[in-house]
């Protein structure tokens, strides 16, 4: 079992690390009790993913996958970014991860998707609230 | 690849230059099979027997009590399976084993295999430092116990067991006692005249000797059933053409260790203490295993908020080769790469998160204080970076 | 010791200088454990995998079908015990083996061990040349046969079996077929794409490669139960820290053999034929084994009126290292030095006296015609002297 | 298992090989069907073992033991020679033979003793014949 150079590069120089102070959406995946955990926060401007930040606790593959995913989607249109698959992420990491490490792709893609859902939920809430207000006002 | 500082001596040590010379000198022509009748065969046999003497001398054994094998794993397997099968052959009721919960997989899985074929195994627990209690061992022994196995020193956390007491308990109750001394030989004084083990496993590549060659001490009078079959080499207990050059190299390593082990251990201990001092000065970094009763070269560090694999790879990228703290239950088995800690830290009462946060830094006789200082700098940087990355270390990173 | 001409290549070959260089180049620092996560560990893993590719290429296998072991004996044991246990695990009725009567003790004793634990073994006879008859094999196979084992080429008399036919018979009847190719690889074309073996054992030290390292080919889809336990290296079938340098050397030997085997065999055959012509010109000296279907390097000579041990030692005293013709049933087992011929010549219908009169002269790629001529002179002198000594050769000596 | 230099020396330069054309006694031991065989013939002059010759078919230890024994006893007084034991022979060969080869000592000592018995038998016969002749003549 050994990692490609692209993975190691993302591991030791991870891109987009951190958390947005005022995110438009954020999501977490994984098992807080003992497994790997990934957290993404996103900032959206005019349907573009303007800012992506992530944090990961977990194996090297998880950290690298988070970094590669954040790099991949930052600046993309929201729907484009939401369509990014595990396969795209694999490509960004130079190819398949070592056997037994594939879960890293799922972990970070899930966390990003949850951040999008959160964004849409908030948006929907806002729209609803707006609509409600509108109906009301 | 950039040059690297090697701090993973528990995984394997470098080959000492003098052992390498001995090995290379035996690689020249002619090579012969020690079982051959002609003079070259006889000369090869003598090389093997001289090495046997050196290995015996290192451990206080007689040459006839030393068998050469293909490695530590094979020595362990031969002892555990061989003692068990000899016991059950003598008395079919003797199908009980007592094995510590912190054994290397070579012993643990051999015991589990026996368990799957109808033996009962009592797994001996350890305290928070990884120590087996001799009284617990004593209570676990039964008339039908075929063997007990407790390692000399643990390959993960470095804790050294009270082997003399453990062995005496077994001797008093006439139960064969196997001791895996793979991490101990060449680092600690290991003397079978003082510690009444029945069998003792060790291998060259853990004390600056060759890889692919192991040894098993079998005390005179101890019955072992063969577990492999063939030409009947090594008293019928390990068939196969001997690796004469490798065996000669093991003899050379044994001679070196006999003369220099104390000095090696003194240096290892100094470096290790420097390392532990520096590392545990970082908040949230603690030493695992026994504070005093430990291998001279082993620092096993729990690093809060960090996952070991990433930390190892970070240190590697800075030029320092260290090990994960918890051997994968399935190391080397690519298909089984599930994230599962070895039973050692669990047996010591640590939860999985802490188990996965541990790294093993093991120094060697040829490391320098400067290397340790360089490592400590790289290590603290890596820890800080990984904590910054971690959603679990929020507020602090 | 005086300089010697080595003519005992079936016991072990010299290490080729280029293989030695490869081996030595891997003995330099740093050494790492291929299971280690850091870059040095990864580099060691790559060395192992490159060697696996070279070994696979030599035999027509895929790399994933090659396991590294501690030698030929271990490869044979893993195949025989592993296939048998996998079969019985799948179907408890499958406790029947078919094994040729001329197997090396590594296979024979593994089968005998299974026999002692409740398996039935059909021992396949051979003709006067040592050949197994594929029709007999076919008739011996039963629905409950767990495996059949016939070696590629015999280590004593040099006879090469019709392995392709034998393997096809087994494939047709869906019985796993193990082939001990320890004497064949590097001397004969051995290609698992042409010969449908299930498993195939070989080792470095019989074809100018390292000792202490063997390989087992396991065809994709063939089920093998593990017979040793530990860290789970080599797909869980051969645990233990890999001997990286030794494995690299096996890879180097495989690369050499892939490129040069034909030329080696041509030279061996020439020298062997010269030797056989000269030796059989002595009255009462005959070639054992098949006249044509034989290893290119093997001359197995029955010498009337002479006992092999004395003849070997006479030749040795004149500077020629040759082998006894009949491996002691208990070679290398000092306690069991009874005078007992191996079953091979007996299976070929030879009486004990003739069995004990046989010597094995096995040439190598680096022998010269001059050495063969010198040997023939020494040999005929020794034969004459020993016959003069013999009360059985009265009237003639 | 390997032989001492003394054994090898006796093997490759065996002393006293052959058979006396007109022996005063001869003896054989061993198993002609398949095992080792030793044959000794002796010539006796005035109660001294003037000549000893031997032949052996068998392992190196047997040949060497025959040679060493023949060398040891040639020229000795008959009774002295007859008292030579396996231990004396072992000494002459530089020490114990390898394990499993001890039978070589027995083989050759037996053959020599049988040669002595043969000598005494013949002697007894002659004495009887002489006595008979004497009585008769
Ligand atoms: C045919 C055959 N099989 C198996 C072996 C065993 O190989 P090793 O002694 O290297 O383990 C040998 C050689 O000794 C052999 O000639
Ligand atoms: C304590 C202990 N036992 C057994 C082994 C097995 O040794 P090897 O891998 O050399 O076969 C090791 C090392 O891997 C070890 O540390």
Closest CA to C312 of A115, D2, B64: D2
With a cut of 50, say whether residue C337 has pLDDT above it. no
Q: Is C228 in the pocket of ligand 2 (CB under 6 A)?
A: no
Residue with tokens 């072991």: C69
Cβ-in-10-Å burial (0-12, 13-18, 19+) of C144 comes to middle
Instruction: Please answer yes or no on whether B313 and A100 come within 8 Å at the CB atom.
Output: no
Cα separation, D91 vs C196, in Å, equals 59
CATH number of B17-256: 3.40.640.10
Active-site residues of C: which are they?
Answer: 328
Residue A130: pLDDT over 90: no
| Contact residues on chain C for A2, CB-CB shorter than 8 A | 37, 41-42, 45
pLDDT digits (tens, 9 = 90+) for C75-134: 999 999 999 999 999 999 999 999 999 999 999 999 999 999 999 999 999 999 999 999
Cα–Cα distances in angstroms (integers) from residue D75 to residues A65, B28, D47, D50, D69, in the given order: 95, 49, 10, 5, 12
**Is A11 at the interface with chain B, CB within 8 A?**
yes
Dump pLDDT digits (tens) for C135-155.
Answer: 999 999 999 999 999 999 999
For β-strands B96-100 and B5-6, DSSP reports them as: unpaired
Q: How many CB atoms lie within 10 A of CB C376?
A: 19
What end-to-end distance do the CA atoms of chain A give, in Å? Answer: 62
Neighbours of A13 (CB within 10 A): 11
CA–CA gap between residue B132 and residue B280 (Å, rounded) = 26
How far does the centroid of ligand 2 lie from the alpha carbon of residue C118, in Å?
A: 33
Closest-approach residue (CA) in chain C for A60? C37
CA distance C252 to C209: 8
- Using an 8 Å Cβ cutoff, are C222 and C199 in contact? yes
Q: What are the structural domain ranges in chain B?
A: 5-12+261-389, 17-256
Question: Quick one: what percent of chain B has pLDDT higher than 90?
Answer: 87
Q: Which of C10, C15, C102, C106 to mutate to test the pocket of ligand 1 (most atoms within 8 A of CB)?
A: C106
Written as six digits, the tokens of A19 are 């958390």
Q: How far is the CA of B352 from the centre of ligand 2 (A)?
A: 23
Kindly list the domain boundaries of chain A, sorted by start residue. Answer: 5-131
Q: What is the pLDDT of residue C164?
A: 98
Q: Specify whether B328 is catalytic.
A: yes
pLDDT in tens, C338-391: 456 778 999 999 988 889 899 999 999 999 999 999 999 999 999 999 999 988
Mutate to test the pocket of ligand 2, among B69, B153, B206 (most ligand atoms within 8 A of CB): B206
List all residues of chain C from 19 to 78 with a beta carbon under 8 Å from chain A: 37, 41-42, 45
Instruction: Read off the pLDDT of each residue in B318-335 and give the average, rounded to a whole number.
Output: 69
Q: Which one of B303, B304, B306, B310 makes the best mutation probe of the A interface by having the most chain A beta carbons within 10 Å?
A: B310
Residue C392 has pLDDT above 90, yes or no: no
Q: Is D96 on the interface with C (CB under 8 A)?
A: no
| C329, pLDDT greater than 60 | no
Q: Residues B165, B137: contact at Cβ < 8 Å?
A: no
Q: Tokens standing for D122?
A: 């013949």
- Chain-wide mean pLDDT for chain C? 93
Rounded to the nearest angstrom, the distance between the alpha carbon of B67 and the centre of ligand 1 is: 19
Q: Which ligand is nearest to the CA of C78?
A: 1
Residue B222: is its pLDDT beyond 60?
yes
3-class DSSP state of C194: coil
Q: Is B307 on the interface with C (CB under 8 A)?
A: no
How far does the CA of residue A2 sit from the closest CA of chain C (Å)?
Answer: 6
| Greatest Cα-to-Cα distance within chain C, rounded to the nearest angstrom | 76
pLDDT of residue A134: 47
Residue in this structure with the two tokens 């195994």, named with its chain if needed: B121
pLDDT, position A2 = 81
Bridging pattern class, strands C5-6 and C320-321: parallel
* pLDDT one-digit tens code per residue, D62-96: 999 999 999 999 999 999 999 999 999 999 999 99
The partner residue sitting opposite C11, judged by closest CB among B4, B11, B33, is B33
Percentage of chain C beyond pLDDT 90 is: 87
- Long-range Cβ pairs for the range B86-91 (8 Å, 24+): B86/B223, B86/B224, B86/B225, B87/B146, B87/B147, B87/B176, B87/B223, B88/B146, B89/B225, B90/B223, B91/B144
Which ligand is the nearest neighbour of the Cα of C239?
A: 2
Nearest CB to C307 within list D18, D38, D59: D59
DSSP assignments along B254-275, one per residue: HHHHHHHHHHHHHHHHHHHHHH
Q: Does D2 touch chain B (CB under 8 A)?
A: yes
- CB < 8 Å from D in window 319-378 of C: 334-339, 351-353, 356
For residue A101, the distance in angstroms to the closest alpha carbon of chain C comes to 14
For testing contact with chain D, the best of C2, C313, C318, C352 (most D CBs within 10 A): C313
CB-CB neighbours of B74 under 10 Å: 28
Which of the residues B170, B179, B315, B328 is marked catalytic? Answer: B328
- The secondary element (H helix, E strand) that includes residue C6 is strand C5-6
Question: What residues are in contact with ligand 1 under a 6 Å CB criterion?
Answer: B 240-241; C 71-73, 76, 104, 106, 151, 155, 180, 182-183, 203, 205
Sign of the dihedral through C-alpha C112, C113, C114, C118:
positive
**Which residues partner with B319 through β-bridges?**
none
Query: Cα separations (Å) of D128 from C86, D24, D124, D131?
Result: 79, 17, 6, 5
Cβ–Cβ < 8 Å for C250, C215: yes
Question: With bands split at pLDDT 50, 70 and 90, how would you rate the model's confidence at B331?
Answer: very low
- The rounded distance, in Å, linking the Cα atoms of A28 and A54 is 10
B abuts A (3+ Cβ pairs < 8 Å): yes
pLDDT at B330 over 50: no
Residue B263 buriedness (CB in 10 A; 0-12 / 13-18 / 19+): exposed
Confidence of residue B334 (pLDDT cuts 50, 70, 90): very low
The secondary structure of residue B239, as a DSSP letter, is: -
Q: Give the torsion through C-alpha atoms of B219, B222, B227, B232, to 10 deg.
A: 70
Instruction: Give the fold, CATH level 3, of A5-131.
Output: Sufe protein. Chain: A (3.90.1010)
Tell whether ligand 2 has an atom less than 6 A from the beta carbon of residue B104.
yes
Q: Which of D12, D98, D99 sits opposite C317 (nearest CB)?
A: D12
* CATH architecture group of domain C5-12+261-389: Alpha-Beta Complex (3.90)
Q: What is the mean pLDDT of chain D?
A: 89
Angstroms from D128 CA to nearest CA on chain C: 32
C207 CB-near residues (< 8 Å, 6+ apart): C13, C185, C186, C187, C253, C257
Q: Which ligand lies nearest to the CA atom of residue C102 in the structure? A: 1
Q: C-alpha distances in angstroms, D55 versus B137, B229, C285, C394, D27?
A: 65, 39, 21, 10, 11
The residue whose CB lies within 8 Å of the most ligand 1 atoms, and thus the one to mutate among C157, C199, C203, C326, is C203
User: For the residues A8-28, what does the mean pLDDT come to?
Assistant: 94
pLDDT at residue B327 above 70? Answer: no
For residues C19 and C247, the answer to whether their CB atoms sit within 8 Å is no
Position D1 confidence tier, pLDDT thresholds 50, 70, 90: low
The CA–CA distances, whole Å, from B328 to A8, B308, B339, D57 equal: 20, 11, 7, 62
Mean pLDDT of A80-94: 94
CA distances from A21 to A24, A27, A50, A52, C91 (A): 10, 14, 14, 12, 63
Digit-coded pLDDT (tens) for B69-110: 999 999 999 999 999 999 999 999 999 999 999 999 999 999
Report the pLDDT averaged over residues C65-81: 97
Distance C104 CA to ligand 1 centre (A): 7
Residues C118, C103: Cα–Cα separation, whole Å: 20
Q: How far is B395 from chain C, CA to nearest CA, in Å?
A: 30
Could A12 and B313 be called an inter-chain contact, meaning their C-beta atoms sit closer than 8 Å? yes
Report which of A35, A63, A51 is spatially closest to residue A115, judged by C-alpha positions. Answer: A51
Judged against a pLDDT cut of 80, whether residue B347 lies above it is answered with: yes
pLDDT tens-digit series, residues D3-44: 899 999 999 999 999 999 999 999 999 976 668 899 999 999
* Average pLDDT of span C282-304: 97
pLDDT, mean of residues A25-54: 91
Reply yes or no on whether the pLDDT at D131 is more than 80. no
Judge whether residue C331 has pLDDT over 80. Answer: no
Exposed e or buried b for every residue in B312-325, given b needs 16+ CB within 10 A? bbbbbbbbbbbbbb
Query: Does residue A135 have a pLDDT over 50?
Result: no
CA dihedral of B327, B328, B333, B337, whole degrees rounded to 10? -160
The residue among C388, C395, C376, C392 whose CA lies nearest residue C281 is C376
The structure tokens listed for B297 are 């070269």
Instruction: Quote the pLDDT of residue D33.
Output: 63
| Residues D38 and D55: beta-carbon distance below 8 Å | yes
**Lowest-pLDDT choice from C39-43, C178-182, C361-365, C376-380:** C39-43
- Identify the pLDDT of residue C340: 67
CB contact under 8 A, B352 and A34: yes
Nearest atom, ligand 2, residue B71 CA: 11
Rounded average pLDDT over C48-74: 97
Between CA B60 and CA B50 the distance in angstroms is 15
Residues from chain B contacting residue D2 (CB–CB below 8 Å): 37, 41-42, 45-46
pLDDT at B218 over 90: yes
Ligand 2 atom with the smallest distance to the CA of B154 is 1
DSSP-derived pairing of the beta strands A48-57 and A37-45: antiparallel
ipTM: 0.90
Model pLDDT for residues C257-268, shown as the tens digit of each residue: 999 999 999 999
| Residue A132 scores a pLDDT above 80 | no
Evaluate whether C152 touches C165 at the Cβ level (below 8 Å). no
Give the rounded percent of residues in chain B with a pLDDT score beyond 70.
Answer: 94
Confidence of residue C288 (pLDDT cuts 50, 70, 90): very high
Consecutive H or E run containing B253: helix B244-280
Contact: chain B with chain C (3+ CB pairs below 8 Å) = yes
B65 lines ligand 2 (CB under 6 A): no
Helix (H) and strand (E) counts for chain C? 11, 13
Percent of chain C with pLDDT over 70: 94
Cα-flanking dihedrals φ and ψ of residue B303, to 5°?
-120, 100
- pLDDT for the residue numbered A133: 54
pLDDT at C138: 98
CB D67 within 8 A of CB C389: no
Beta-carbon separation of B24 and C29 below 8 A: no
Most A CBs within 10 A among B313, B329, B359, hence the mutation to make, goes to B313
Strand C199-203 and strand C214-218: pairing?
Answer: antiparallel
Best mutation target, C389, C392, C395, to test chain D (most D CBs within 10 A)? C389
Give the Å distance between the CA of C182 and the centre of ligand 1: 6
Say if CB B64 and CB B220 are below 8 A apart: yes
Residue C212 has pLDDT above 80, yes or no: yes
**Secondary structure class of B24 (helix, strand, coil):** helix
- Beta-carbon separation of B337 and A12 below 8 A: no
């Amino acid at each position: 079992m050994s990692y490609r150079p692209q993975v190691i590069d993302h591991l030791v120089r991870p891109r987009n690390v951190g958390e947005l102070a005022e995110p438009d959406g954020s999501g977490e995946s994984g098992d807080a009790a003992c497994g790997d955990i990934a957290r993404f926060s996103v900032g959206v401007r005019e349907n573009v993913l303007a800012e992506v930040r992530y944090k990961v606790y977990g194996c090297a593959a998880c950290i690298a996958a988070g970094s590669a995913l954040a790099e991949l989607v930052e600046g993309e249109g929201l729907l484009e970014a939401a369509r990014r698959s595990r396969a795209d992420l694999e490509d960004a990491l130079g190819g398949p991860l070592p056997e037994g490490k594939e879960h890293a792709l799922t972990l970070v893609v899930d966390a990003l998707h949850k951040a999008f859902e959160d964004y849409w939920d908030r948006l929907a809430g806002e729209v609803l609230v707006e609509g409600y207000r509108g109906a009301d006002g | 690849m950039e040059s690297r500082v090697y701090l993973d001596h528990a995984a394997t040590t470098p080959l000492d230059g003098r052992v390498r010379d001995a090995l290379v000198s035996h690689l020249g022509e002619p090579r012969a099979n020690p079982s051959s009748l002609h003079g070259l065969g006889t000369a090869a046999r003598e090389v093997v027997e001289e090495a046997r003497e050196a290995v015996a001398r290192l451990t206080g054994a007689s040459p006839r009590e030393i068998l050469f094998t293909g490695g530590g794993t094979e020595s362990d397997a031969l002892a555990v399976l061989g003692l068990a099968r000899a016991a059950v052959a003598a008395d079919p009721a003797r199908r009980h084993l007592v094995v510590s919960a912190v054994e290397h997989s070579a012993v643990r899985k051999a015991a589990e295999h026996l368990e799957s074929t109808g033996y009962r195994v009592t797994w001996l627990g350890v305290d928070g430092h990884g120590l087996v209690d001799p009284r617990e061992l004593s209570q676990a022994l039964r008339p039908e116990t075929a063997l007990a196995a407790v390692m000399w020193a643990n390959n993960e956390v470095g804790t050294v067991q009270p082997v003399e007491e453990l062995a005496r308990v077994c001797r008093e109750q006439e139960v064969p006692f196997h001791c895996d001394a793979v991490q101990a030989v060449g680092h600690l004084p290991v003397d079978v005249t003082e510690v009444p083990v029945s069998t003792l496993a060790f291998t060259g590549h853990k004390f600056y000797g060759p890889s692919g060659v192991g040894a098993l001490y079998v005390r005179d009078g101890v019955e072992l059933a063969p577990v492999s079959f063939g030409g009947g080499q090594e008293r019928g207990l390990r068939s196969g053409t001997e690796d004469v050059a490798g065996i000669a190299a093991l003899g050379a390593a044994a001679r070196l260790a006999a003369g220099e082990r104390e000095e090696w251990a003194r240096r290892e201990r100094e470096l290790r203490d420097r390392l532990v001092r520096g590392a545990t000065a970082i908040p949230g970094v603690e030493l695992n295993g026994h504070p005093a009763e430990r291998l001279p070269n082993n620092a096993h560090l729990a690093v809060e908020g960090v996952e070991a694999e990433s930390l190892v790879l970070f240190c590697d990228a800075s030029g320092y080769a260290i090990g994960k703290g918890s051997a994968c239950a399935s190391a080397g088995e690519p298909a089984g790469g599930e994230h599962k800690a070895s039973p050692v830290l669990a047996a010591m009462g640590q939860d999985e998160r802490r188990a996965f946060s541990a790294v093993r830094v093991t120094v060697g006789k040829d490391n320098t204080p400067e290397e340790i200082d360089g490592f400590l700098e790289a290590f603290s940087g890596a820890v800080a970076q990984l904590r910054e990355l971690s959603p679990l270390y929020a507020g602090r990173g």
